Structure formats: structure tokens, C-alpha cells
A and B are shown apart, each in its own frame.
Chain A
């Protein structure tokens, strides 16, 4: 009877246990990969020509040149940093009422739907695409960048804030309601203490994201360090471009560590 038991063990497949479905999926993936790779046309001559540039870029990254373009770099950095701070502050100020409005447990249904719609619109539009339009409307420069980042901040903070308000401890709100508190007193004494640490944490996190994004939207003309980076790459000044990228990485690292430290400290 023992012979009937299998002598070897095969680990069952985790994600797709059905063997036939698995094979079908694998064939599908294979067909897709063949089709997808056939659309990628690579001009190998251009690639080999570009390798020399690639080498120069890596050299530029290893020996960054901070000095010769320092005036432009510092100008771009100041624009980026000021843009980041102002847009985060204004974005948070606007997103607080919208976030409260998008919380199902605090407001009537029509207000909830309007606020959720604002959040959905702000979240579904790419920053870069928004920046293109705002640059067309408000002209080149950091002001368009400020508006773009503010717009993006609203969707981000308002959604997370609304989700947090919906998950608060209802008993505290109930207690304030039982004392006969008005809606604003309810906000002040029951909601605010519960979500304030979280809101500050989210704002710091968004500050970090906004700086990263400010480096990107400059490429489409919205000012900041991205514009400087774009110019330096267009001029093939890879040593300056390397310096800018290193500065961006350094600032992002500092921002990430200090914001996560601050968030831990606050909570």
C-alpha cells in the first residue's frame, strides 16, 4: 500500500493553482512579449554613438561640476524650494475644508459628492499635464509651478485626510454631540485632536513629494531646478547635470529622513 504514496513532492503553485490556466497564462504572456518586443525598434548605430555620451555622463556624475553654473543652479534651487513650501502651505489650507467635506460621517451627501469629485479630478490628472496647461495660461516661471503643485497637493491631502476622518473614533464625536455642541465645536473638540498629528505628518510627506515633482515640472517650463537641469542636458554639459542630480538626490534624502523623523516625533 505504501507504494501508492508519491515519493517526491512538488510545491503547489501559489498564485495560479490550476495547471491549465497557468499554462494558458504563460502562453499569453509569451505571445505578448513577442508582440511587444517586435514594436521596439532599436537603432543600434545610434546607441553605439550614444555610448560615448553615456560615458561622459557617468564621468560627469562622478566628477560633478558645481561651480561653473552655480549661479543658475542656485537660482533654480531657490525657485524649487520656495515653490515647494508655498504650494504645500496653500495646498494644505485649501485641502482641509475639502477633506472635511469629503468625509462621509460629517457632511450631507451632496457636499460629500462634490468634494469627492474635486479630489478625483485632482488625483487623476498628471502633474506634468497640468503644468503644461498652467504654463500656457499663466506664462513661464515658478508661478505656474506653484499652481501645479498646489493643485496636486489638494487631491493628495484631501483624500487621505477624508479617509482618516472617516476612520476616527466615533465615540468621541458622539460625546461632543451629546453635550449639545455645534458642528464647529464638534470639529474643534472631537475631530481636530484625532487627526491633527496625522495631518501634520501628511503635510510633511507632501512637502517631500512636492520637491521631487518641482524638479520635473521645470522640464515643461514651470520653473525650478528642472528647468536648469533641462538646459544643462540640452547643452550637453553633463558635469553640471550630474551636479544638479546629486543635489536633488541629496535634498530628497535629507527631506525623507527628516520628515520621517519628525513624523515619528509627532506621533
Chain B
């Protein structure tokens, strides 16, 4: 006997999938209850009025504040650029140690390099900045180091994957000429991964511009400091100018990075 209706899955499979979704819903409800235990609902229902209030204070933006923001903006760009350079310098050796085909010791050094990459990736630059500000004091240096430390993981991961994808034939050809390990690296590996490294670095620079804009919130210099100051005195019209400036910078940097990547790759 043929079934009347056509179905993609068998009955047992359908029930299993249905139970899976039910479990997800139950988990969601449970998490929601735990999360909202301490929520003060009066504040939540009050939100539209608050939003209107803040929105009203942001308009019109105080454009006269713009010239004062140029120095912090320059600082922010410097944090992002110098941080990216620092990150690349530290990430390249880590990536060489982490890539399966260039690592000197797969059992000992490779796990260490992979751990450095994961640790750097899982801690956001804002947290790095928070730590560094308490250690070396507020200022640009803390921001630069925070950005550099966060960039190691990102650049390191993408770069070591690029190294692992190199064509072994070219490396073998260099080895066949009797080249030493350093020469194999410069003539066999580097030419293959150089465009990737530039692309990754520019991509990370673009992300770093976004991140460095907010590092000032924890005292690490740049335009975030001004944002923090304006918010502390509830000058929402200044906050509006700062946010628009950050948005414009992000759009421009994204465009620059897209153009550079298109010309390189």
C-alpha cells in the first residue's frame, strides 16, 4: 500500500526532530526566566519615553564640537594603525609556528602557538584595554598594545591557514635546488602568502578602526575618551556628533580596505 501523502522523513525521524525543537523551546523559556529574574520591568516599560527623551536631546547635534574631535580622531587612527602593525609583527612568527607545514615541532611548539591564537581571539580588545590601563596607565600606549594583542589571534589564524594552503610543488622546487630552510621560506613560501598577509592585515586594520573608537571608554585614548566624557555630563548633542563621526570613519575605512584588498588580491 502506498502512502497517501508524500513525506520527506519517516515518522520516527519527524518525532525526533520535533522533540529537538521542543527541547530548544524549553531551554529558551528556562533561560529567559533566569535572565529576567532581576529585571526591573518598570524601567523596561519606561524605555520608549526614555528613548524619546534621549533622542530629543541628541537633536540637533552640536556641530561646533567637531573641530575639538579632530585630535582624538587622529589618535584613534593611530591606535588602530600602530596596533595593527604591532599585531602583524607578532602574528607572523606565531602563524609560522602554527602552520603544519612550516612548524619546527608539531608536538611541542604548534600547540603553544595555537593556544596563543585562541587566547588572543577569545579576549576582546576592550578587555585587553581594561587590563592594560590598570597596568601601564591610561593613554594611547595601552590602546595600541590592546589592539595589537587582539590582532595576533585574528591575523595568526587566517595567516597560518593561508600558509597551510600553499602549493607544496613550489616549495619542493626550491628545496631541490639545495636551498636552506630560510631560503625555502623566502623563495618558496613568502611569495605565495604575501598577498594573503596584506589582505588579512588590511581587513584587520578596518576592524581595528571600529574597535579603537570605543577603547577610550575604559581610558585607552582616542575618540572614545570624548564619548565617555560627553556621556558623563549627559551632553547628548555632543554624543550625537561623536557617533556620526565614528560612523563616517568606519564607512570610509571599510571603503579604503575594500579598495586595497581588491587591488592586491
A residues with a Cβ closer than 8 A to B are 11, 14-15, 32, 36-37, 39-43, 46-47, 49-51, 53-54, 57, 78-79, 81-83, 85-86, 89, 124-126, 128-129, 132-133, 136-139, 141-143, 146, 212-213, 215-216, 219-220, 226, 229-230, 233, 236, 241, 245, 248-249, 252-253, 256
Given A14-B195, A124-B247, A137-B54: A143 in contact with B127 (beta carbons within 8 A)? no
Chain A residues lying within 8 Å of B136, measured Cβ to Cβ, are 46-47, 50, 54
Bound Cα distance from A136 to B234, whole angstroms? 11
Flag whether B225 is at the interface (Cβ < 8 A).
no
Chain B residues lying within 8 Å of A253, measured Cβ to Cβ, are 118, 122
Given A40-B82, A53-B134, A138-B43: A78 in contact with B124 (beta carbons within 8 A)? no
B124 touches A57 (CB 8 A): no
Chain A residues lying within 8 Å of B139, measured Cβ to Cβ, are 40-43
A236 touches B134 (CB 8 A): yes
Nearest Cβ on chain A to B232's Cβ, whole angstroms: 12
Query: Could you say which of B34, B75, B217 has the most chain A C-beta atoms within 10 Å of its C-beta?
Result: B34
Flag whether B97 is at the interface (Cβ < 8 A).
no
Flag whether B144 is at the interface (Cβ < 8 A).
yes
A216 touches B137 (CB 8 A): no
Flag whether B99 is at the interface (Cβ < 8 A).
no
Give 19 pairs: A residue, B residue, CB < 8 Å, sorted on A. Answer: A11-B187, A11-B191, A43-B137, A47-B137, A82-B34, A86-B28, A89-B28, A126-B246, A129-B214, A129-B246, A137-B50, A138-B44, A142-B36, A212-B122, A213-B124, A215-B127, A216-B127, A241-B131, A253-B118
B122 touches A249 (CB 8 A): yes
Q: Which of under 10, 10 to 19, 20 to 34, or 35 or more describes the interface residues of B?
A: 35 or more
B78 touches A15 (CB 8 A): no
Flag whether B51 is at the interface (Cβ < 8 A).
yes
8 A-B pairs with the lowest CB-CB distances in the bound complex, closest first: A139-B43, A252-B122, A46-B137, A82-B31, A82-B35, A54-B135, A36-B78, A137-B47
**Residue of B whose beta carbon sits closest to that of A93:** B28
Flag whether B81 is at the interface (Cβ < 8 A).
yes
B39 touches A42 (CB 8 A): no
Chain B residues lying within 8 Å of A233, measured Cβ to Cβ, are 130-131, 134
Q: Which B95-123 residues have C-beta < 8 A from chain A?
A: 118-119, 121-123
Bound Cα distance from A249 to B185, whole angstroms? 33
B214 touches A126 (CB 8 A): yes
B39 touches A36 (CB 8 A): no
**Residue of A whose beta carbon sits closest to that of B29:** A86
Bound Cα distance from A92 to B261, whole angstroms? 31
Cβ contact of B127, chosen from A78, A89, A125, A229, cutoff 8 A = A229
Given A36-B81, A82-B34, A219-B218: A126 in contact with B210 (beta carbons within 8 A)? yes
